[in-house]
Structure 1
Amino acid sequence: MITSRERVLGRIADHLVAQARPLRVAVDGITASGKTTLARELTAAIAERGRTAAHLSMDGFHNPRAIRHRQGRDSADGYYTDAYDFASFSRLVLEPLGPGGDRKYRQRIIDLLLDTAIDEPPVEAAEDLVLVVDGSFLQRDLEWDEVIFVDTPFEVARDRGTRRDTELLGGLEQAERAFDQRYHAASRRYLAEVGPADRASVVLGNADVANPVLRRIGGPAGAVVNLFSYGTLQTASVQIEHFGRTLVGKEDVLPGYRQDWVTITDPAVIEVSGTDRHPIVRHTGDPADTTAGTLLQVTTEELAAADVYEVDDYRRALVRLGSGADAWVYLAQES
């Protein structure tokens, strides 16, 4: 049986797989928020959906120790301003994978443990690559296609991080001091100066690792996106339950798709929709096949709520409607 975490990460993977290629994805958050674990799991989920996926850690783009610690080993400002070589990362990774780039990127430039520079040849990315990068302060002067902010309370992250790094930092007391004075002090500065949660295109609540909460997806706070519904998301009761309001939409059609039906077993979905028989559409490619529905405009918080509402028989994808508008839609989950 699919777990709550697998389901939420699957929704994020669907969102990324539907987009242009190659795709540069940041996994951002405070220290010990769960970025690396999520990045690895998300990379695997993307690969399972048939896209080329790779995981890269910002550990390979740290500055040398002499630069990282020049303001003091415990300095929060030093960690914030001197930890990473963002200029090299942008030049060697983001620019080659961006518009007009040659798709030849570097995977690392330093061995962090040995504190020695590495001059490895670049890797040529596949045209459909989704590169998932985890690290701190990733929304400072870097250009991404998607940013996932892993939102974990400081007290939770501190507990995780100090337990994880007790041996590395020479004991529990030393680890607690490092988090309080350096890592999380720098993270608080980052939150105050950059506002990374509001700027991110995806926000994931990660206080409970087993049950993460998808808070927003599809764009920054305040953004509006198109969602095409041919089923129960058109009904007022479902909209009020999941969006807190009713939506005004426009009639539209989805060409090249044929409508079918699926039996829902989730009691919460049945209760809100009032039925266990829901429509579902499958791609045929035949222009004679069309599915009528409603083009809705929803916030990125509401798109996340729609992702939570739809059961695992559906996957979200980008489509071109009969009106010419591009919109998200829930299609049949093909095996």
Structure 2
Amino acid sequence: MITPRARVLGRIADHLTAQLPGRPLRVAVDGITAAGKTTLARELTAAVAARGRAAAHLSMDGFHNPRAVRHRQGRDSADGYYTDAYDFASFQLLVLDPLGPGGDRKYRERIIDLPSDTPIDEPPVEAPEDLVLVVDGSFLQRELVWDEVVFVDTPFEVAHERGTRRDTELLGGLDQARRAFEQRYHAASRRYLDEVGPAESATVVLGNEDVANPVLRRIGGPADAVVNLFSYGTLQTPSVQIEHFGRTLVGKEDVLPGYRQDWVTITDPAVVEVSGTDRHPIVRHTGDPADATSGTMLEVTAAELAAADIYEVDDYRRALVRLGSGADAWVYLAN
């Protein structure tokens, strides 16, 4: 049986793989120090690859500044960590620009070996056109340009416990690790939250306080985003909308061409209770212009799209489609 964490990560992976910009998709996994960014980035890369899309993972550890630059304001300096830890200019030039619009898709995987503090001059890697590149690191929205940003939202007290436990040996003992997180790492993270507001500008927000049961808080855009969601089933029902979105939604009739409607039996008791039935419609792509599915194009916030992702069972995956009206919209298709 799929775990709650795998289910949420699968929804994010569906969201990323649905996007085909004609070049690599550049995805940041952002958050405070010890939020769980690296673990999530690795899992998300694997989930994207499992869906048949080219995927690669990079860590900003490979784009640190040399130690002399990182520590020039003092080993315990929060300002030094915030401004001097990473070589963002090189990362933009060597990774994000080549994978962005008009780029040649040849990017570097690292420029430094962090443990030995040794510069590395490796040949670039050529990315396939459909690559999803997932990058984890700190302060990723301070200067860099991304296509998607996943913000890993973890409370400071939880991240502090994780980080000090993880880095006790590396930092020379538990007391030293606690001091480093309080005075340097998390002090810098608080400055980042205050100055940049990274959770508000991220396109995906994931609550990661309980790693086994993460919470998908927003997906599809920043905090003020409004997106189109095409529904041909129970999400058109006012009672379902009120239960999951807290309001009835604005919508207009539309049609999904090239898809034929079928039916699926739902076994999730919560979904059956809210919808009032265990028999739900589901659509499958045929490509036949004679096939069409009628429904409603709903306007939803990114937080409401996350709620819809949780409502829909695993028989469905979310995809981006062109409707009969010419509008682009998200829709839940047969998985």
Same fold (TM over 0.5): yes
Would you say 1:253 and 2:255 are equivalent positions? yes
Task: Give the drift of 1:114.
Answer: 0.3
One-letter identity of the residue aligned with 1:110: I
Query: What corresponds to 1:17 in structure 2?
Result: 17
Offset from partner CA, 1:77-124 (integer Å, 9 cap, x none): 000000000000000000000000000000000000000100000000
Offset at residue 141 of structure 1 (A):
1.2
2 CA distance for matches of 1:276 and 1:70? 63
State the partner residue of 1:187: 189
Stretches of structure 1 that go unaligned for 5 or more consecutive residues are none
**Counterpart among 32, 39, 42 of residue 40 in structure 1:** 42
- Report the residue type matching 1:123 in the other structure: V
Partner of 2:74: 72
Structure 1: how far apart are the matches of 2:149 and 2:304? 18
Q: Which residue of 2 aligns with 1:130?
A: 132
Letter in 1 for 2:314: D
Letter of the 2:31 partner, please give it. G
Q: Does 1:104 align with 2:95?
A: no
CA offset digits 1:9-49 (Å, max 9, x no partner): 00000000000241000000000000000000000000000
Secondary structure in 2 aligned to 1:249? strand
Paired AA for residue 119 in structure 1: D
Q: How does 1:113-128 map to 2 (within 5 A)?
A: 113-128=115-130
2:334 is matched with which residue: 323, 332, 335? 332
Q: 1:152 aligns with which of 151, 154, 164?
A: 154
Give the match for residue 304 of structure 1: 306
> What are the Cα deviations for residues 185-228 of structure 1, in whole angstroms up to 9, with x where unaligned?
00000000000000000000000000000000000001100000
Supply the distance in 2 between the matched residues of 1:61 and 1:25 (Cα, whole angstroms): 16
**For residues 186 and 203 of structure 1, what CA distance do their matches in structure 2 show?**
20
Report what 2:215 is aligned to: 213
SS at match of 2:210: coil
Partner Cα separation in structure 1 for residue 34 and residue 128 of structure 2: 31
Distance in 2 between the 1:292 and 1:4 partners?
32
SS at match of 2:144: coil
CA distance in 2, matches of 1:248, 1:24: 32
- Equivalent position to 1:234, from 233, 236, 239: 236
Partner Cα distance (1:248, 1:190) in 2: 36
Deviations 1:158-211 (A, max 9, x none): 000000000000000000000000000000000000000000000000000000
2-side partners of 1:65 and 1:22: how far apart?
31
Give the whole-Å Cα distance in 2 for the aligned partners of 1:248 and 1:102.
Answer: 42
CA distance in 2, matches of 1:115, 1:222: 42
Map 1:308-319; keep pairs closer than 5 Å: 308-319=310-321
Aligned identity (percent) is: 88
* Structure 1 position 306, deviation (Å): 0.2
- Measured in 2, the distance between the counterparts of 1:2 and 1:235 equals 28
- What's the C-alpha RMSD, in Å, of the aligned pairs? 0.4
The answer to whether the aligner puts 1:224 opposite 2:226 as a matched pair is: yes
- Partner residue of 2:245? 243
Q: Which secondary structure does the structure 2 equivalent of 1:31 belong to?
A: coil
Residue aligning to 2:58: 56
Report the Cα offset of residue 247 of structure 1: 1.1
Which amino acid is the alignment partner of residue 2 of structure 2? I
**In the alignment, which residue of structure 2 is the partner of 1:201?**
203
Displacement after TM superposition at 1:248 (Å): 2.3
Say if 2:278 is the partner of 1:276.
yes
Which residue is 1:4 aligned to? 4
- Taking the aligned partners of 1:222 and 1:130, their CA distance within structure 2 comes to 25
Question: Structure 1 residue 257: deviation in Å?
Answer: 0.2
Distance in 2 of aligned mates of 1:204 and 1:326: 25
- The Cα shift of 1:235 comes to 0.1
In 2, the alpha carbon distance for the partners of 1:86 and 1:248 equals: 42
Matched residues, number: 333
- Matched position secondary structure for 1:316: strand
